[in-house]
Amino acid sequence: MTVAPESTNLQLDQNGRLRHFLDINGLTRELLTGILDTAEGFAGLHERAVKKAPLLRGKTIINLFFEPSTRTRTTFELAAMRLSADVLNIDVQVSSTTKGESLLDTLRNLEAMHCDMFVVRHGSSGAAHFIARHVAPGVSVINGGDGRHAHPTQALLDMFTIRRYKGAFENLSVAIVGDISHSRVARSQIAALKLLGAREVRAVGPATLLPGALPQMGVNVYTDLDDGLRDVDVVIMLRLQRERMSGPVLPSSNEYFQVWGLTEERLARAHPEAIVMHPGPLNRGVEISSEVADSKRSVILEQVSFGIAVRMAVMSMVLGRGPEAQDAD
Amino acid sequence: MASDHTSTHDGTPVSDIDVSALLAGMAEELRSIIRTGQQEVAMVGIRTGGVWVAEQLHAALDLATSLGALNINFYRDDFTRIGMHPQVTPSVLPFEVEGRHIVLVDDVLYTGRTIRAALNELFDYGRPARVTLAALVERNGRDLPIQADVSGMRITLEAKQQIKLSGPTPLALALSTRL
């Protein structure tokens, strides 16, 4: 699934600032590092008496979710609230589209309510790009996950987590394990790791769940878990996305765990200081054992906390780019 | 107004000003203000220049609580105009703000907008009993009704002129003119 060249430029204004945030592809290393640095400033906000900054006071943000989500929607909502924006959650599965309204009509109606930003999650690849192409000039779009294509804020919060625990990317070997072909998270992670200069990115999983284009993306492919984990600094486990699978690509969950599940014994092959990550939701006993998920090396819950700071950074950078921004500096 | 804008009222060029002498005077004044108060005192510098000044004053006053630092980036009123700047040094307040006497320190007091932002941020940490403002340099050009309680020096400059503190060691003042 490739993104048309015009749509990668769609997310930047003529000064190279973020206008929308749709995909890691098309961004520069400087911009990604800038987002991570900004997020660092927001990460301590929750320790204060008032867990809010007034940056987006008076802005209205609509979470437009065409697919179910708890973690992503909640952290986007909290991020917007901590920036003092007004937030509206619209669960489109139970809304007008089921009454036959088209996506563009839904959009026009929401725009008429004078919102400043849409956070969009959709089951179809390219949905956020489509909406970004059709919104009014002052309105921004953030991709909260589109089909199998991209989930850029998830990838960024993963990069933030890695940087917090491991420092510079240049020396790191990162293994992404599991169902890579159905994973928009993995696609965005690979793009971000490559852009930030990780030493090695490995894709580890059963051949039926590995897309063919991995070697062209500079990713080393492993079809054996023990080999793939050897000496890595970061292990990212992916959720088995049964809802996106068609046909018999896999044996039972139990068999999957026997061959591909991360256990303490298997993790011992990684670097002794390696951290374990997972974008959630966890399937305990399918891709990861409870023992590993709850161990000291698991930073899965930290990822969730950091997700708020990273989403605050993206939202404030996209909306803090007013018309006058072009004259400044 | 001084006719020669590279120097202060008594004719000393800005670059020759002895910053440590200004700091010593400020510390003296602050000491007498702090003595009159009932509450426990804590000091906060505004990043970046204000922190340099605060470090010196904090040491001179020998305060018991650790020095705090504010980064007012999230509270600026020109955010929608000039946007977000990545910041790597967030605010750190290693004490309870609630009920304390806070000495807020900045390098140059000019429009007053930075202090407005700093006060707003400070109140998001708690309700201080009292806030005292100390500025190394107080210049003309206020946009807001804000004034320093203690200042090292006052200077009158034209709008296009800028006085800047460089540091942290040595601390020195310099005048420049925007084109």
Q: Which residues on neighbouring strands pair with residue A174, listed in sequence order? A: A201, A234
Inspect the interface and report whether the beta carbons of A34 and B86 lie closer than 8 Å.
Answer: yes
Q: Which residue of B has its CA nearest to A34?
A: B86
Q: Are A20 and A10 within 8 A, CB to CB?
A: yes
A84 inside 8 A of chain B by CB: no
Q: Which of A50, A99, A144 is nearest to B98 (CA)?
A: A50
What pLDDT does residue A294 have? 97
- Residue B64 to residue B41: CA distance in whole angstroms: 8
Q: Which residue of B has its CA nearest to A83?
A: B74
What pLDDT does residue B39 have? 84
B97 inside 8 A of chain A by CB: yes
- Residue B13 to residue B158: CA distance in whole angstroms: 16
Task: Write the DSSP string, B34-45.
Answer: HHH--SPEEEEE
| Closest chain A C-alpha to B97 CA, distance in angstroms | 10
Q: Which of A82, A85, A91 is nearest to A63 (CA)?
A: A91
| Residue ranges of chain A whose pLDDT lies below 50 | 1-8, 324-329
What pLDDT does residue A249 have? 67
CA-CA distances (angstroms) from residue B28 to A324, A326, B58, B134?
A: 44, 46, 12, 12
CA-CA distances (angstroms) from residue A204 to A55, A147, B103, B119?
A: 41, 21, 56, 52
What is the DSSP secondary structure assignment for residue B75, as one 8-state letter? G
| Closest chain A C-alpha to B164 CA, distance in angstroms | 18
Inspect the interface and report whether the beta carbons of B82 and A329 lie closer than 8 Å.
Answer: yes
Task: Write the DSSP string, B103-127.
Answer: EEEEEEESSSHHHHHHHHHHHHH--
B64 inside 8 A of chain A by CB: no
B75, B83, B98: residue with CB nearest A53:
B75
pTM: 0.85
How many H-runs (helices) and E-runs (strands) does chain B carry? Answer: 4, 7
Q: Which residues contact A93 (CB under 8 A, 6 or more apart)?
A: A66, A67, A68
Q: Which residues on neighbouring strands pair with residue A202, listed in sequence order? A: A175, A220
A99 inside 8 A of chain B by CB: no
What pLDDT does residue B78 have? 79
Cα torsion through A120, A125, A130, A132, rounded to 10:
40
Structure tokens at A318: 């996209």
Task: Count the Cβ atoms, other than its own, within 10 Å of residue A92.
Answer: 18
Q: Are A288 and A278 within 8 A, CB to CB?
A: yes
- Residue B141 to residue B110: CA distance in whole angstroms: 6
Q: Which residue has the tokens 């039972």?
A: A252
Q: Are B124 and B134 within 8 A, CB to CB?
A: no
A167 inside 8 A of chain B by CB: no
Tell me the pairing of strands B101-109 and B41-46.
parallel
What pLDDT does residue A74 have? 94
Tell me the pairing of strands B68-70 and B41-46.
parallel
ipTM tops 0.90:
no
Q: Are B158 and B129 within 8 A, CB to CB?
A: no
- Residue B92 to residue B66: CA distance in whole angstroms: 10
Phi, psi of A207 (to 5 degrees): -50, -30
Handedness of CA B12, B15, B18, B24 (dihedral sign): positive
- A with B: how many residue pairs have Cβ under 8 Å apart? 70
Task: Write the DSSP string, A257-289.
Answer: HHHH-B-HHHHTTS-TT-EEE--S---BTTTB-
What pLDDT does residue B2 have? 36
Q: Which of A13, A28, A30, A40 best probes binding to B when mutated, by most B CB atoms within 10 angstroms?
A: A40
A38: chain B residues, CB-CB within 8 Å: 84, 86-87
Alpha helices (H) in B45-148, listed in sequence order: 49-61, 79-82, 113-125
Structure tokens at A205: 């999983």
B74, B97, B126: residue with CB nearest A53:
B74
A52 inside 8 A of chain B by CB: yes
- Residue A275 to residue A289: CA distance in whole angstroms: 15
Inspect the interface and report whether the beta carbons of B98 and A17 lie closer than 8 Å.
Answer: no
- Residue B149 to residue B143: CA distance in whole angstroms: 17
A50: chain B residues, CB-CB within 8 Å: 123-125
A41 inside 8 A of chain B by CB: yes
Inspect the interface and report whether the beta carbons of A54 and B81 lie closer than 8 Å.
Answer: no
A43: chain B residues, CB-CB within 8 Å: 90
pLDDT tens sequence across A189-211 = 999 999 999 999 999 999 999 99
- Residue B97 to residue A151: CA distance in whole angstroms: 40
Structure tokens at A161: 């987590």
What pLDDT does residue A242 have? 73
Inspect the interface and report whether the beta carbons of A17 and B83 lie closer than 8 Å.
Answer: yes
A40 inside 8 A of chain B by CB: yes
pLDDT by residue for chain B (179 residues), tens only, comes to: 333 445 666 667 888 899 999 999 999 999 999 988 788 999 999 999 999 999 999 999 999 999 999 999 888 877 767 776 666 578 899 999 999 999 999 999 999 999 999 999 999 999 999 999 999 999 999 999 999 999 999 999 999 999 999 999 899 999 999 87
What pLDDT does residue A303 have? 96
